[in-house]
Amino acid sequence: MAAAHARDDGSQANRRRADHSETYLRLREAITGGRFQPNERLVEAQLVDLLGAGRSSIRAALVRLDQEGLVTRQPNRGARVRLISGREAVEIEQVRIALEKMLARSAAEHVTADDLADLEATVVEMHRRLEQDDRLGYSELNSRFHQRIWKMADNELAASLLATLKSQSIRVQYRTILQPGRADQSMREHVAILAALTAADPEATEAAMAEHLSHVVSTLRRAIATSQVRLPGAAASVAPEAVTSPLAAGANVAGA
């Protein structure tokens, strides 16, 4: 009898963990995908209806997302999607440079024929999207290109840190790929990274990645300097350094 109760208790605990995990993933995707905008309140009752989850799962998800920097929680005021300032957006990219340089070098040391085939296909499709003036499609492929390199490097901790940083900056309005001349420059930079990987040259790959991401940062700085941004629902613009405006729903365009 005791053993049966223990099995039942274990099964229930496993189901709760699974429910919490699914709710967390769905809410995270809704935030990074643009379903919720920066500074938007996350009301528990509405999230219960939207996600079909219990309040305990919603609360557990909000705690995890707060720890990741995607949500801010305040006593007696609930949770909101966190705003990323212009300064923080630049700092995120600067940290990303250090991590991606390391992963690029490691990827060149472990590159396989299958890796190169996948990257080449991605680059070809990126070029096609640019010819169609599909900048958002290009940026989605840009993310795929970088994530393949993270996988090749086989450093789970660094890849996890980068994924978190990317999630925080994904909603940033400063669309670097939409800046004049940036799309063609970005394409050339990805071709250079691929060429270095094809040569299995760790130093050249690291250098090509560093050059690419340094241009991302400089483009981001220019975009911030020239942007006027607005809080969701606000009537007046505020300084770019104070806050970023919401990204259009579903658009992953940062860091191209």
Domain ranges in the chain with CATH number 1.20.120.530: 86-238
pLDDT tens column, 66-112: 988 889 998 888 999 988 888 888 898 999 999 999 999 999 999 99
Order of strands, sheet of 78-81, starting from the edge strand that comes earlier in the sequence: 41-42, 78-81, 71-74
Separation CA 154–CA 135 (nearest Å): 29
Predicted pLDDT of residue 140: 87
Contact between 169 and 87 under an 8 Å Cβ cutoff? The reply is: no
Higher-scoring residue by pLDDT: 152, 87: 152
Q: Is the pLDDT assigned to residue 42 strictly greater than 70?
A: yes
pLDDT tens column, 201-247: 999 999 999 999 999 999 888 888 876 434 333 333 333 443 333 33
DSSP string, 189-205: HHHHHHHHHHTT-HHHH
| CATH homologous superfamily for the domain 86-238 | GntR ligand-binding domain-like (1.20.120.530)
Domain ranges in the chain with CATH number 1.10.10.10: 2-81
Class of domain 2-81: mainly alpha
Separation CA 89–CA 34 (nearest Å): 17
Separation CA 215–CA 255 (nearest Å): 9
Q: Is the pLDDT assigned to residue 190 strictly greater than 50?
A: yes
pTM of the model: 0.72
pLDDT tens column, 160-169: 999 888 877 7
